[in-house]
Structure 1
Amino acid sequence: MQLYHHPYSLDSQKVRLALEEKNIDYTSFHVNPITGKNFDSNFFRMNPSAKLPVFQNGSHILYDTIEIIQYIERIAVVSSGGDNPTLSSREVVEWMHKIEQWNPKFFTLFHLPVKYRLSVSAFLRRVIIARMAESPKLASAYHRKLREAYETEDKMQDVEVLRRSEDHLERILNEAESKLGETTYLVGDEFTLADVMFIPILSRLVLLNLEEKYISTRPNMAEYWNMVQQRPSYKKRAEELAAFLSDVGGDGGCPAFVGAVTDAMVEATVVVKCDGCPAEVGLFTPFQQSFFNLFFRD
């Protein structure tokens, strides 16, 4: 089994947590959007949406996050060989879909300075156009992605898009806060796939320096967030993120990354200076890596 993913892809994080929680062995392939690897012709033929993650088991290929996670669950159930194997309850599945219905792309982009947001969009268009020229047989599929990029730019001019995204997120968080006042986890006192879907959302809010606004103000959720960060599956993912930052020359503890991310996206060749960061990072900083991945919804 192979997983094509990236550490900062939100949906990739959900699938990685599921794989770790279910103790499923797989081969990991990093696909880095900042270098346009998700638009390389071989990957694009397999997955014309160019989104991450992609899960492959032989000839069986899945792109939808919930479908991947439920497939992983079925593999785990079969592998367990128990007398009474059970899958997730209806309530768990309902929570999974409820969480997945919130699209973090616009919410994330609206929390970037406009000039940096436009820089991300311009780079995306350049990558698509270049790949289109290299693989004319895939031109129509590439053109669809190019059109999506322009549509995203148009929506980013509409503050109503942000308001709807914020309202949607608030509804999910408020319902979760209410549930967590009654149970340890989202659906009862046992960790479920609903939590697998939810934890990366909270992690994204922390990444955007919005923990105080959205998590700390909800006491049940704050307690839950502190608890789930202690799970081995989450710790392993956090270690991978730190290793990724180290590989590309960053510092996993850099305050510019975890506390001032809206100032971290810079154009072209850059010099980044902050306490604890290297003085020069090069063409793309780790912070650009993360924000470019946020653009793809993911």
Structure 2
Amino acid sequence: MKLYHNNNSVCSQKVRVTLAEKQLQWESVHLELAKGEQYEPDYLLLNPEGVVPTLVDDGLVLRESSVIAEYLDQLSAANPLAPTAPQALAAVHLWLIRTIDIHAAINSVTFATLMRQKQLQDSTPEEVRARIAKFPNPQIRSKRLDLYSNGVKSPYVAGALFTLLRMFEDMARNLEKSDWLTDGRYGLSDIALIAYVDRLDRLGLSGLWSERYPAIETWLRASQARPSYQTAIGSLIPPQLAQQTQQAGQAAWPEIKEIWKSM
């Protein structure tokens, strides 16, 4: 199996955690997103959206991280990550579907804070707009331009926080019954969400859940303590990037906190 991915991509992290939990062998093709390698013609043949990850396995090309995670779980009977009971499996599928909106929310928060700060420091407005113009999807182009121009004041950030509020509410409700989200054990529902909550934590935004939903803090630290987290996420984040991420989020936290308090 060959995985096209990026170390800091939350969707790539989700797939790598699955690979680590299943102890599957895979070949890494790391794409530097900041250099636009995801828009190279050869890669666009595999993934016309120009995003990561993409899994290639014996001629099969899979492009959606939740689909990839489910596929990987079925490749080996070792450490099954999905329950077999119909109701429990349906609950997993609901979380996997919801990650489409959750990913968009995390994307908005990340670009309004960390990526915007890096762009303001490293590039001219003309260079940033030129990179945004390369995005194949016009809706994403419009969103990125708004986030670049307005930062946390962008309506996309308020919309993202609304999505995250609903996520936290439902996670906390599930965690009242069990330490994990996947029918009482660590599995696909937990893997589907760990990279997103971890990104918020790395941005210094744990205030989104620390007071309202303390069970999420316990779940997050337990997830981060698993070997699969260290293999797939923790060991691949350079210290300098970790510091930049924390500083960018903390700088934006006062404005984000005011929006959050109003919800």
> So what's the TM-score if we normalise by structure 1?
0.70
Give 1:152's aligned residue. Answer: 144
Is 1:237 equivalent to 2:232 in the alignment? yes
**Per-residue deviation, residues 127-148 of structure 1 (Å, max 9, x unmatched):** 577xxxxxxxxxxxx6734774
* Shift in CA distance, 195/126, structure 1 to aligned 2, threshold 3 Å: same
1:163 to 144, 158, 162: 158
* Residue pair 1:2, 1:26 contacting (<8 A) in 2 also: yes
Give 1:110's aligned residue. Answer: 112
* Shift in CA distance, 121/204, structure 1 to aligned 2, threshold 3 Å: farther
The letter for the 2-side match of 1:180 is: L
Give 2:182's aligned residue. Answer: 187
SS in 2 for 1:48: coil
* Residue pair 1:55, 1:68 contacting (<8 A) in 2 also: yes
- Distance across 2 between alignment mates of 1:113 and 1:54: 23
* Residue pair 1:128, 1:146 contacting (<8 A) in 2 also: no
Give 1:260's aligned residue. Answer: 247
- Distance across 2 between alignment mates of 1:63 and 1:123: 29
- Distance across 2 between alignment mates of 1:90 and 1:68: 17
* Residue pair 1:7, 1:240 contacting (<8 A) in 2 also: no
- Distance across 2 between alignment mates of 1:143 and 1:168: 24
* Shift in CA distance, 25/121, structure 1 to aligned 2, threshold 3 Å: farther
**Where does the alignment leave 5 or more consecutive residues of structure 2 unmatched?**
252-263
The letter for the 1-side match of 2:49 is: S
The letter for the 2-side match of 1:201 is: Y
Q: How does 1:61-72 map to 2 (within 5 A)?
A: 61-72=61-72
* Shift in CA distance, 74/217, structure 1 to aligned 2, threshold 3 Å: same
The Cα shift of 1:21 comes to 0.8
Q: How does 1:1-298 map to 2 (within 5 A)?
A: 1-77=1-77, 80=78, 86=84, 89-102=89-102, 103=104, 104-112=106-114, 116=118, 119=123, 123=127, 125-127=129-131, 144-145=136-137, 148-154=140-146, 157=150, 159-215=154-210, 217-242=212-237, 245=238, 251=240, 256-257=243-244, 259-262=246-249
**Per-residue deviation, residues 7-30 of structure 1 (Å, max 9, x unmatched):** 100100000011111111111110
The letter for the 2-side match of 1:110 is: A
**Where does the alignment leave 5 or more consecutive residues of structure 1 unmatched?**
130-141, 265-298
* Residue pair 1:15, 1:68 contacting (<8 A) in 2 also: yes
The Cα shift of 1:239 comes to 4.5
The letter for the 1-side match of 2:202 is: L
Larger Rg: 1
SS in 2 for 1:144: coil
Aligned positions, number: 239
The Cα shift of 1:176 comes to 0.4
**Per-residue deviation, residues 145-186 of structure 1 (Å, max 9, x unmatched):** 477424531466573322221111111111101211111101
- Identity across the alignment (%): 22
SS in 1 for 2:76: helix
- Distance across 1 between alignment mates of 2:131 and 2:146: 19
The Cα shift of 1:86 comes to 4.7
The Cα shift of 1:120 comes to 8.9
* Residue pair 1:209, 1:259 contacting (<8 A) in 2 also: yes
The letter for the 1-side match of 2:33 is: P
SS in 1 for 2:194: helix
Give 1:292's aligned residue. Answer: none
- Distance across 2 between alignment mates of 1:29 and 1:121: 31
Give me the CA root mean square deviation: 3.1
The Cα shift of 1:108 comes to 1.9
Q: Which has the higher helix share?
A: 2
The Cα shift of 1:229 comes to 1.2
- Distance across 2 between alignment mates of 1:191 and 1:125: 42
Give 1:288's aligned residue. Answer: none
> So what's the TM-score if we normalise by structure 2?
0.78
